[in-house]
Amino acid sequence: MSGEAGGRGPRTPADLPETTTHCPYCALQCSTELSGGPGRVGVRPSPDFPVNRGGLCQKGWTAPALLGTPGRLLTPLVRGADGVLAPASWDDALDLVAGRLRRTRERYGADAVAVFGGGGLTNEKAYTLGKFARVALGTSRIDYNGRFCMSSAAAATLAAFGLDRGLPFPVTDLDDSDVVLLAGANPAETMPPLMRHLERADLVVVDPRRTRTAERAALHLQPVPGSDLALALGLLHLAVTEGLVDKEYVDARTTGFEAAWESCAAWWPERVEAVTGVPVADMRRAVRMLAGARRAHVLTGRGAEQHSKGSDTVAAFIGLALALGLPGRAGSGFGTLTGQGNGQGGREMGQKADQLPGYRSLTDPADRAHVASVWGVDPDALPGPGPSAYELLDSLGTPEGPRALLVFGSNPAVSAPRAAHVTERLSALDLLVVADFVPSETAALADVVLPVAQWAEEEGTLTGLEGRVLRRRAHLSPPPGVRTDLELLHALAVRLGQPPERFPVRPREVFDELRRASAGAPADYSGISYARLDAGEALHWPCPAVPGGDHPGTPRAFLDRFAHPDGRARFAAVEHRPPAREPDAGFPLYGTTGRVLAQYQSGAQTRRVPELAEAAPEAFVEVHPDTARRLGLADGALAEVESVHGSTRARVRVTRTAREDTVFVPFHYPGAARANLFTGDALDPRSRMPEFKVSAVRVTPVGERS
């Protein structure tokens, strides 16, 4: 198949039986049933899928509205000499892109071309994107927006357990948990169907804000922003000093406990209270609740992870869980709540700067040789690791950085930290190419925009937050003139001199190749097939191909041993440190960012759904009444939220759920309302995660700034 997509049109309603697929949004990947034809697709939740059990959130119920959203991209656009994006044919657009990529590489080298991917791409697309970058372009400059989502959790869990799987157990294990500690997670708003699995448990919620999840908690620990690590060390300190450590488990299944204890020995409860603001009595109660439960879980989310010390914070919460004997024990455990729809599979399949498919390493000669043999190339021809997402974006258009960038499934003009600076860097490129199905804020900056199919129009697989591989099925054909990402990458690769068979366009063929590339790797998909998934098997990786039968998959990863060679989990010795910039006289408040129920990620999709836009139409800054009174901020009036990096304009929302020293702004909105205009560029030294969750800011009424 050539990948040229002409001649296809939407199927008629008579051709459309009900289609079982999955929601296009978060990593729960709720199962849905689609029915009806173009312009009137209906959705209902699948009643028997164990993750959502017949439930959907507001975003899932309204997802079909995306299929007919006004302004959807239906033809390639090329920016002319007049600076205006104008329609072009596919051949003209692709020839232009391939020609300019070729000339850029010839003049400046392979690393002058970069690729930026997304955590919502299917496994097949993420795999092909990484292969395209390293084989067709020969560049090391590839990373993706999952760096802004799961990288700190991945670094910490890989070090602790030898394997990075968000939940190393099925979501349904939470049903019978007695106590669940949620550190920096607000699933009541970010993934509401998950709350069905937490109804029985007593919740301990760690969050500076009194969120909807915190309102349902048995205990809410409300630390100063940026102090989560000190709190985690204090909880481990209490577990030790109060005799709550499971010594038999620690001796049999872990290593490094003594060093971890030394790192937290100085974090006695009163010191932790002074740093975090969390009362000693509440800390003691939290540890006793976890230790006294027959089944308990510790889960972290972005609130604990999106810091310049996020990896260490997750490691400290892992240490608490290990001390209490939770990970790898039936009915208990530690996990991290993956955010994006394919946040798990997206980082396993090779679009991350330092990884090859299957979670193989770009620096390991055996891993390089295995993947190169599947791809039919010389291992020495594969580039090494490139810079992380923010570092890549920061270097765009500079003398040392890439001069051309291809963006798939991401909107960094809104979602990246220091958004104004990143927008400047995007604008400085010689060539910016964006593949999307809506005209995002990043697409508006592009030299070439390429329209691609969306969720209900494509086949593929995704991997949910519990490591379960899921089938995405097409209910409609893409509109005429719209191509799939696989067809697009095939067409570009061929124009760049690659043999056509090296870049297949059928998702099933790509998945079969992906299976071979991941065989024997930590994220082994080789025993998974479309046939098994279509037959309804629940397959969690690792699922290796085995002679004489089908491997059942690994729903619970660590029951017998952890993934390190000695089978033991590792405690980590970590030290608390303050955020990159703390409040001072000029910027006296903490600014933090996050999500709201009706919007998703950069909002490029959900802001186009009328029901969601009506529910959450604009950005707001959440302020405590006493803080608002002191600063002269009126509820409903516009205010400026400013840091040393930039300022955001949002409408004041006065609420007692906020801390007096903290303001909150959701990051879904464009233009002057971008929350990431005030976030900074401090990065976690291990994960390279930006510090989204804490900035030093001041808030002033619009028009009254001094």
Average pLDDT over residues 396-402: 96
Are 609 and 661 within one domain? yes
Under the banding of pLDDT at 50, 70 and 90, the label for residue 352 is very high
Res 539: pLDDT: 98
In a domain, 18, yes or no: yes
How confident is the model over 444-457, as a mean pLDDT? 98
Determine, yes or no, domain membership for 536. no
* 195 and 332 share one domain: yes
320 and 195 in a common domain: yes
| % of the chain beyond a pLDDT of 70 | 97
Question: What pLDDT shows up at residue 703?
Answer: 72
Q: Assess if residue 618 is contained within a domain.
A: yes
Residue 446: the pLDDT is: 98
pLDDT for 11: 46
Residue 532 lies in a domain: no
Which residues, in sequence order, are CB contacts of 40 under 8 Å at separation 6+? none
Closest CA to 148 of 419, 439, 359: 419
CB contact at 8 A, 159 and 571: no
Which parts of 582-704 fold into alpha helices (H)?
Answer: 610-615, 625-631
Please state which of the ranges 107-111, 580-584, 647-651, 699-703 shows the lowest mean pLDDT: 699-703
Q: At what angle do helices 485-495 and 90-108 cross, to 10 degrees?
A: 50
Do residues 285 and 173 share a domain?
yes
- Give the per-residue pLDDT at 2: 31
> In the prediction, which pLDDT does 13 show?
46
CATH for 48: 3.30.200.210
Could you report the per-residue pLDDT of 570-583, keeping only the tens digit for each? 999 999 999 999 99
**Are residues 500 and 614 both part of a single domain?**
no
> Is the pLDDT assigned to residue 14 strictly greater than 50?
no
Q: Residue 540: how many CB atoms within 10 A of its CB?
A: 23
Instruction: Indicate if 319 and 182 belong to the same structural domain.
Output: yes
Same domain membership, residue 395 and residue 299: no
Q: Is there a single domain that holds both residue 512 and residue 600?
A: no
DSSP structure string for 546-559: BTTB-----SSTTS
The whole-number pLDDT of residue 15 equals 53
Domain count across the chain:
4
- Encode pLDDT of 361-370 as tens digits: 999 999 999 9
| Cα–Cα separations (whole angstroms), residue 702 to 147, 224, 631, 642, 676 | 34, 27, 12, 11, 18
251 and 144 share one domain: no
Mean pLDDT of 400-428: 97
Domain with 331 in it: what CATH number? 3.40.228.10
Of the three residues 49, 68, 87, the one that is the final residue of a domain is: 68
Q: pLDDT tens digit string along 241-299?
A: 999 999 999 999 999 999 999 999 999 999 999 999 999 999 999 999 999 999 999 99
Confidence class for position 630, pLDDT limits 50, 70, 90 = very high
Would residue 527 count as lying in a domain?
no
Residue 181 burial (CB count, 10 A) = 30
The answer to whether the beta carbons of residues 422 and 413 sit under 8 Å apart is yes
Domain contains 549: no
The domain of 599 spans 589-701
Model confidence at 185: pLDDT above 70: yes
Nearest to 213 by CA among 178, 171, 183: 183
Beta partners for 204? 181, 219
Tell whether the model's pLDDT for residue 705 goes beyond 80.
no
Residue 548 is assigned to a structural domain of this protein? no
Q: Are 186 and 209 in a shared domain?
A: yes
If asked whether residues 495 and 365 sit together in one domain, one would say yes
Q: Is the pLDDT of residue 670 over 60?
A: yes
Instruction: Reply yes or no on whether the pLDDT at 673 is more than 90.
Output: yes
Contact at 8 Å (CB) between 283 and 272?
yes
Lowest mean pLDDT among 5-9, 494-498, 565-569, 627-631: 5-9
Residues 60 and 103 in one domain: no
> What is the chain's mean pLDDT, rounded?
95
Residue type, 442: T
Average of per-residue pLDDT across 536-552: 95
Of 148, 18, 132, 124, nearest in space to 462 by CA:
124
Which pLDDT belongs to residue 9?
A: 39
User: 235: exposed, middle or buried (C-beta count within 10 Å: 0-12, 13-18, 19+)?
Assistant: buried
Average pLDDT of the segment spanning 108-114: 98
pLDDT of residue 381 exceeding 70, the answer is yes
In the listed set 45, 68, 91, which residue is the last one of a domain according to the structure? 68
Section 499-507 average pLDDT: 98
3-state SS track over 25-72: CCCCCCEEEEECCCCCCEEEECCCCCCCCCCCCHHHHCHHHHHHCCCC
What's the pLDDT score for residue 4? 31
What pLDDT, in 10s, does the model give residues 208-225? 999 999 999 999 999 999
Q: Which residues contact 429 (CB under 8 A, 6 or more apart)?
A: 396, 397, 402, 403, 404, 405, 447
Taking only the tens place, the pLDDT of each residue in 51-75 is: 999 999 999 999 999 999 999 999 9
Domain CATH number, residue 425 = 3.40.50.740
pLDDT value, residue 5: 31
**Which CATH number belongs to the domain containing residue 599 in this structure?**
2.40.40.20
Residue 346 amino acid letter = G
Token pair for residue 586? Answer: 């000029």
Q: Does the residue 155 lie in any domain?
A: yes
Query: Domain end: 336, 360, 379, which one?
Result: 336
**112-170 residue pLDDT tens:** 999 999 999 999 999 999 999 999 999 999 999 999 999 999 999 999 999 999 999 99
CB 206 within 8 A of CB 231: yes
What secondary structure letter does DSSP report for 466?
A: T
